[in-house]
Amino acid sequence: MSKNNSFKFPLILYNTIAGSLWFIHLYNTINVILNNKDVNTFYLNSVHFLTITQCLAIIEIFNSLFKIVKSPLLTTFAQVSSRLLIVIGSFKLSSTSISPFIGYEYITLSLAWSITEVIRYFFYAFNLLNIQPKVLLFLRYNMFPVLYPLGVSSELIILYRTVQINDNQLVKLIYIISMLAYIPGFPVLFSHMWIQRKKAMKQLFNSKK
């Protein structure tokens, strides 16, 4: 949430645009799955859109840095940078039209990221408008037990493949360190969301009463 009302409209606009872009990627991903389309073609047609959409999250680092929102800077930076390492790093390392990252992990990554972000961004946008749809509140704090492990496992597979195809020892080291960072990072994030879930569900059920 913004500490200053002057940032309210830009934050609403940012969250709405980001949520809409992620919804487009989600729609395209589901379309590929339902119509059993070629995954490599989907990758080639969507990877640039996914990269641009994810890069918008850099704004969130600055929002946290300048205290425009209450999100902790270290957590925000870690979450955003880990994804940027994939979309700017891993997806750009392949020099061929058929990337080594093409497989079901690109589909599962797209599903996990886009569903999570559609819910998250619209949840924030409505909150800034002092509206709290119960369905978004419920989804926000009940989908992560499935989406987070799905996303993390997909990310780790892609990071591992990046290590395999790269000959630069420094790049290999960066990716290995990034993979190891998931060991303490994921439990912390998951437990934080679980605590938040308990508070949100208590609020939701109390409002029903």
The catalytic residue positions are 148, 155
Neighbouring residues of 24: CB distance < 8 A, sequence distance ≥ 6:
49
Question: Radius of gyration (Cα) for the chain, nearest Å?
Answer: 18
d(CA 177, CA 58): 21
In contact, 175 and 166? CB cutoff 8 Å: yes
What length is written for the chain?
A: 209
- Indicate the burial class of 142 (C-beta count within 10 angstroms; 0-12, 13-18, 19 or more): middle
Residues 32, 138: Cα–Cα separation, whole Å? 27
Distance of CA 150 to the CA centre of its chain: 11
